[in-house]
Amino acid sequence: CRVLVLISGNGSNLQAIIDGCDDNVDAEVVGVISNKPDAYGLVRAHHAEINTSCVIARKDERRQQYDSRLQQAIEQYQPDLIVLAGFMRILSDEFVSQYIGQMVNIHPSLLPKYAGLHTHQRALDAKDKEHGASVHFVIPELDAGPVILQAKVPVYEDDTVETLSSRVHEQEHAIYPLVVKWFSLNRLKMLENQAYLDDQLI
Ligand code: GRF
């Protein structure tokens, strides 16, 4: 399974996936694409001898134009699976529609709670007792695709965004490589907007 990872920043999830693929003969990270030239994840990719591309938005560029350049970059890698790992751009419906069932994202909340930004702050503000992360298939609607796997963490009274987000991140690094592994073993499918693992509805 040819895995392509899209990032914008630190790339700690990318690292977890690279490390996970080291132990998985069925999956290989064949490329990393960033929309930010200074993303630390690009350094991680170079260390792992993985090819990288940067697709940087031009001033006043329309979303569709950017997405078509992104698509060209993606096609060079011929991926079976596209993994969004902290890729901080909204993708057009047309773009996403081409990759239904082939593109996954990780979101730092227990979806359907807290789609969008500032999830840790929102969980703290709501005095939630638990929080977490979700891996889901990507559909045009933001953070709304079928959930594949979630990890929960407790929220403590003295938590800050930093302490809570680092607890969530640790879990992200456990669940994302597992989802990549399931996909590479053909165990994971999306059909009619629902996710299946081993032919069982998730
Ligand atoms: C993660 O919190 C992920 O849930 C969100 O972006 C962050 C990426 O972190 N989508 P990293 O770049 O993988 O360290």
Q: Given the CA of residue 7, which atom of ligand 1 is nearest to it?
A: 12
DSSP β-bridge partners for residue 136:
105, 147
For residue 24, name the pLDDT band (cuts at 50, 70, 90). confident
- Determine the pLDDT at residue 48: 98
Q: Given the CA of residue 40, which atom of ligand 1 is nearest to it?
A: 12
Give this prediction's pTM.
Answer: 0.96
Ligand 1 proximity of 11 Cβ (cutoff 6 Å): yes
If you measure from the C-alpha of residue 167 to the centroid of ligand 1, how many angstroms do you get, rounded to a whole number? 12
pLDDT tens for 98-134 read: 999 999 999 999 999 999 999 999 999 999 999 999 9
Rounded Cα gap, residues 108 and 161, in angstroms: 12
Looking at ligand 1, which residue's alpha carbon is closest to its atom 10? 86
Looking at ligand 1, which residue's alpha carbon is closest to its atom 7? 86
- Determine the pLDDT at residue 15: 98
pLDDT tens for 25-67 read: 899 999 999 999 999 999 999 999 999 999 999 999 999 999 9
Q: Given the CA of residue 169, which atom of ligand 1 is nearest to it?
A: 2
For residue 23, name the pLDDT band (cuts at 50, 70, 90). confident
The CA angle 146-107-175, to the nearest 5 degrees, is: 80
Ligand 1 proximity of 107 Cβ (cutoff 6 Å): yes
Rounded Cα gap, residues 29 and 3, in angstroms: 5
Judging by DSSP bridges, how do beta strands 200-201 and 194-197 pair with one another?
antiparallel
Domains, in order of start, for the chain: 2-201 (3.40.50.170)
Looking at ligand 1, which residue's alpha carbon is closest to its atom 1? 86
Catalytic choice (46, 47, 107, 173) = 107
pLDDT tens for 130-182 read: 999 999 999 999 999 999 999 999 999 999 999 999 999 999 999 999 999 99
107 counts as catalytic: yes
If you measure from the C-alpha of residue 12 to the centroid of ligand 1, how many angstroms do you get, rounded to a whole number? 7
DSSP 83: E
Mean pLDDT (the chain) is 97
- Determine the pLDDT at residue 182: 97
If you measure from the C-alpha of residue 141 to the centroid of ligand 1, how many angstroms do you get, rounded to a whole number? 19
